[in-house]
Amino acid sequence: MRQEKLISVIVTAYNIEAYICRCMDSLLAQTYKLIEIILVDDGSEDSTPELCDGYAEQFDNIRVIHQKNRGPSAARNAGFEIARGDYIGYVDGDDWIEENMYEAMLKACLDAGAQIAICSYRQIGVGAEEIYPTGNILKLNRREAMELYISGDSQYHIYHSVWSKLFERNVIQDIRFPEGRKSEDIMYTTWALAKAQKCVFLDTPYYNYMVDRSGSIMNSQIHERRFRDEIPFWKQQEEYLKEQGFYELAGKAAYQFYRKMLFYYIDFRNRNMKDSGRELMALLRKEKQKIKEIYRNGYVAYGDKARMKLALFWPGLYYQIVKIYDRFIIPLRSCSPK
């Protein structure tokens, strides 16, 4: 493989003294060697800044930015401003990657003439989901990549987080992360995929993602994240797709959004966040006419139509039926002969 392509990896770090060394060691062990690492210390109050500086003193390909705490979006944007790479990768400092991740992803881009490489990932920690990677490599045009991202797939899942991707610089040159918000990757990935002519998906878990490293998220944080960040970004995604002429995809994005909202409702009720559940159901009822229009499309599953109809009519009953289903039906299905 040609070695003249420089990869810039932007690593965000905030109070992760227990994890940053594992992350950095995995980057330094990469089989592809033409990599610059940009460490962005986002106002850490533990020993993270000193650890970052220590790596920069030892290795010529590491640069460190220290800034006041402004969140991961601002940290990534700051890193991008000084990045010199032909390709850009993002890593969260409490995660780590497999040693051949960037070699495999760059090779896949060059072989396919793709501007973005996407890999699957492995969850580590409490609540981690099992995965069954195939090792397959999919070459996708813009439409196919957007469809996979919006509608999902039981095997090949394009997650919105940027750490599972390698971007050709030209595709993201004019894109920045929305600052002061969480779930900022939703729109960043949407913008990037819409600009790329070709993508390649590697169904190999090269990225290791830490789940629940600091304990359960407080209910107040969940409420704010979903209503202040996630819901507005999913709405923005739908509008952006319409603006770009992806009208069917915009409809599918709306469909997936409403499916997520029913999941959020169940999660709110499980957490005894009844006020949040009522606020969410009020949002859905305001959009009842639009939901009816979206749910007339052939790509909407019959079961989803029934679930949405019941949830809008009688949310409490919908919740009880879901709980009964989860408690009795799912265990029976898992025990039934294949």
DSSP assignment of 123-186 equals: EEETTPPP------EEEEEHHHHHHHHHH--SS----S-GGGEEEEHHHHTT--PPTT-SSTHH
Counted residue by residue, the chain has a size of: 338
Query: Where exactly are the structural domains of the chain?
Result: 7-211, 219-335
Burial of 2 from C-beta contacts in 10 A (0-12 / 13-18 / 19+): exposed
Furthest-apart CA pair in the chain: how many Å? 63
What is the DSSP secondary structure assignment for residue 214, as one 8-state letter?
Answer: T
- The pLDDT, as a whole number, for residue 67 is 96
- The pLDDT, as a whole number, for residue 338 is 47
| pLDDT, mean of each 10-residue run, the chain (338 residues) | 84 96 98 97 97 97 97 96 98 97 98 98 87 96 96 90 97 95 92 97 96 60 92 96 96 97 96 96 97 96 96 96 77 52
CATH superfamily of 7-211: Spore Coat Polysaccharide Biosynthesis Protein SpsA; Chain A (3.90.550.10)
- The pLDDT, as a whole number, for residue 326 is 78
- The pLDDT, as a whole number, for residue 216 is 45
- The pLDDT, as a whole number, for residue 215 is 43
How far is it, in rounded angstroms, from Cα 306 to Cα 322? 12
- The pLDDT, as a whole number, for residue 334 is 53
- The pLDDT, as a whole number, for residue 2 is 56
Q: What's the CA angle centered on 208, arms 136 and 149, to 5 degrees?
A: 55
